[in-house]
Amino acid sequence: MNLTIIGTGYVGLTTGTCFAEVGHHVTCVDNNPEKIETLLAGRIPIYEPGLEELVKKNVAAGRLKFTTSTADGVKSGDVVFIAVPTPPQPDGSVDLSFIEKVAREIAECLTPEIGYRVIVDKSTVPVKTGEKVAETVRRYAPQGVEFGVVSNPEFLREGCAVDDLLHPDRIVIGSNDDRALALMHKVYEPFVAPVLVTDINSAELIKHAANSFLALKISYINAVSAICEASGADVEKVAEGIGTDKRIGRQFLNAGLGYGGSCFPKDVKAFIAISESLGTPFGLLKEVERINGDQLERFLAKIREKLWVLREKKIALWGLAFKQNTDDVRESVAIRVAKKMIAEGATLIAWDPEAIETSKRFSGITEGIEYAPDMLSALDGADALVIATEWSHFANVDLTEIKKRLRTPLVFDGRNLLDPAAAAATGLEYHSVGRPAAG
Ligand code: NAD
């Protein structure tokens, strides 16, 4: 099939590439000319494991193209996906101006000669956005054009997006238009996954409800971790004991610094705003947010308690990305920790396997931070080590190197990566989340 993706960011580029990989002909559109030039030059603008090889392979096979022209995209794609940002507004509700603009742009490119087009929203949007997209396209398109609107939310996880897209747990397709549904079934025919067909409102709601539930699970175990710290229990054991119950599951029960990234914080806020706008406030989610904020503060309080004063302290920071296997620092909790420590006068020596460049460009941190050339040299002469992202590099470190290089052997592990007993045996004063100190 001929498919078009409008918005070639994390979601658009990986989705478009995976559609090409399964045999479709895909045109990826972006209105950022720098991004398209990078892609046309054979480079990819983000780090996502396995993506670069797939992009190169499918460009070479003639199945994947890049352009800044929405008109070309709408002309060539029978199905046009929208994958543009849906950022939060100051009050938490979703800024839908990118979606509205693309809907207008698509409408203006439609002609009766082009024929029927399916317009698919892949961005995460509030329930009832599909109705608005259909209204907008109808208003701005010339008389006589035919189109259908579909909601097809995306569930990929950054860091394993290629695998998630090629082998999804499920595919959700929401539409009230049989012609559009038939084409969507063809799009997803090459994928082996259950397809859930719903009305458009339910599909939109599924995405916000799913992400809010995952955030809730994280906050749940983080609240339990606070109780563990106060009582001397071990949150890892508790999580195992809870998570082996099949009804609950072990995933997303890792105590740590709380959730961050470009999706969970904004999607929880959005779901709160949506529920309020519909007159059915979702107070539980406000508590999820409160626990998430408190978790970071409790961790910073531990650092303050041990270092007493952060001013003039040199702190090694391992991790800048919002999670492992990505260079994405949007809403990263690691960046929030960094900003708070810098605000209190500390100087950071930071290292991350992939996110140093994105941190320099997008974190907003302009002073109080230096970037180390490698993981171990970040430690040299530092008063403490703070681990803020769950990269496997940190979990597999030689603990004696930490002891040897730090000025004082204080380690604050915000992701529970190291073994407390091994850390203590190496002579480290080790603090983690919800686990008793060893020794
Ligand atoms: P992104 O910022 O990485 O990419 C969006 C792209 O859209 C940018 O490259 C931007 O230049 C482009 N764009 C904006 N307006 C445009 C226009 N008028 N025409 C053409 N291109 C335009 O964002 P993302 O992370 O890919 O997220 C996109 C959507 O997918 C959001 O709604 C997000 O919530 C959702 N989502 C994201 C993830 C994730 O892990 N990142 C997962 C699932 C769903």
Cβ of residue 8 lying under 6 Å from some atom of ligand 1? yes
Give 5 Cα–ligand 1 centroid separation in angstroms. Answer: 10
30 annotated to bind ligand: yes
Cβ of residue 109 lying under 6 Å from some atom of ligand 1? no
Of 123, 118, 12, 22, nearest in space to 66 by CA: 12
302 annotated to bind ligand: no
The pTM is what? 0.95
Q: Which two tokens stand for residue 361?
A: 């460009």
408 annotated to bind ligand: no
Of 252, 223, 221, 226, nearest in space to 238 by CA: 221
Give 123 Cα–ligand 1 centroid separation in angstroms. Answer: 7
Give 190 Cα–ligand 1 centroid separation in angstroms. Answer: 24
Q: What angle do CA 107, 109, 115 make, to 5 degrees?
A: 90
Give 98 Cα–ligand 1 centroid separation in angstroms. Answer: 9
Q: Is 263 a catalytic residue?
A: yes
Give the C-alpha separation, 151 to 297, whole Å: 38
Residue whose structure tokens are 């995933």: 251
337, 257 in Cβ contact below 8 A?
yes
255 annotated to bind ligand: yes
Cβ of residue 154 lying under 6 Å from some atom of ligand 1? yes
335, 368 in Cβ contact below 8 A?
no
Q: What is the pLDDT of residue 75?
A: 96
Phi-psi region of 303 (alpha: psi -120 to 50; beta: other; left: phi over 0): alpha
34 annotated to bind ligand: no
Residue whose structure tokens are 């970040």: 378
7, 85 in Cβ contact below 8 A?
yes
Q: What is the sign of the dihedral through the CA atoms of 28, 34, 40 and 46?
A: negative
Can you give the length of the chain in residues?
439
Of 351, 358, 325, 356, nearest in space to 51 by CA: 325
Which ligand 1 atom sits closest to the C-alpha of 98? 15
Residue 30: phi and psi, rounded to 5, are: -145, 145
Helix (H, G, I), strand (E, B) or coil at 342: helix
72, 98 in Cβ contact below 8 A?
no
Of 382, 375, 417, nearest in space to 303 by CA: 382
What interface predicted TM-score (ipTM) does this complex get? 0.99
Of 6, 11, 47, nearest in space to 27 by CA: 6
Q: What pLDDT tens digit does each residue of the chain (439 aa) get?
A: 999 999 999 999 999 999 999 999 999 999 999 999 999 999 999 999 999 999 999 999 999 999 999 999 999 999 999 999 999 999 999 999 999 999 999 999 999 999 999 999 999 999 999 999 999 999 999 999 999 999 999 999 999 999 999 999 999 999 999 999 999 999 999 999 999 999 999 999 999 999 999 999 999 999 999 999 999 999 999 999 999 999 999 999 999 999 999 999 999 999 999 999 999 999 999 999 999 999 999 999 999 999 999 999 999 999 999 999 999 999 999 999 999 999 999 999 999 999 999 999 999 999 999 999 999 999 999 999 999 999 999 999 999 999 999 999 999 999 999 999 999 999 999 999 999 987 5
Cβ of residue 84 lying under 6 Å from some atom of ligand 1? yes
Q: What is the pLDDT of residue 42?
A: 92
Q: What is the pLDDT of residue 439?
A: 54
Cβ of residue 10 lying under 6 Å from some atom of ligand 1? yes
Give 157 Cα–ligand 1 centroid separation in angstroms. Answer: 14
Give 306 Cα–ligand 1 centroid separation in angstroms. Answer: 41
CATH superfamily of 214-431: NAD(P)-binding Rossmann-like Domain (3.40.50.720)
The residue to mutate among 5, 8, 11, having the most atoms of ligand 1 within 8 angstroms of its beta carbon, is: 11
Catalytic residue among 28, 109, 228, 263: 263
> Would you tell me which CATH number, out of the four given (2.60.120.920, 3.40.50.2300, 3.40.50.720, 3.40.50.970), belongs to the domain 2-198?
3.40.50.720
Cβ of residue 9 lying under 6 Å from some atom of ligand 1? yes
77, 27 in Cβ contact below 8 A?
yes
Q: Which two tokens stand for residue 295?
A: 């978790």
Q: What angle do CA 150, 82, 265 make, to 5 degrees?
A: 100
Q: What is the sign of the dihedral through the CA atoms of 241, 247, 250 and 253?
A: negative
Give the C-alpha separation, 23 to 200, whole Å: 27
Which ligand 1 atom sits closest to the C-alpha of 101? 18
Domain-by-domain residue ranges, the chain? 2-198, 214-431
Helix (H, G, I), strand (E, B) or coil at 346: coil
Residue 169's contacts (CB-CB under 8 Å, 6 or more residues apart) are 155, 193, 194
Looking at residue 350, the DSSP 8-state letter turns out to be E
158 annotated to bind ligand: yes
Which ligand 1 atom sits closest to the C-alpha of 267? 34
**Using H for helix, E for strand and C for coil, what is the string for 109-158?**
HCCCCCCCEEEEECCCCCCCHHHHHHHHHHHHCCCCCCEEEEECCCCCCC
Q: Which two tokens stand for residue 357?
A: 């460049």
Cβ of residue 300 lying under 6 Å from some atom of ligand 1? no
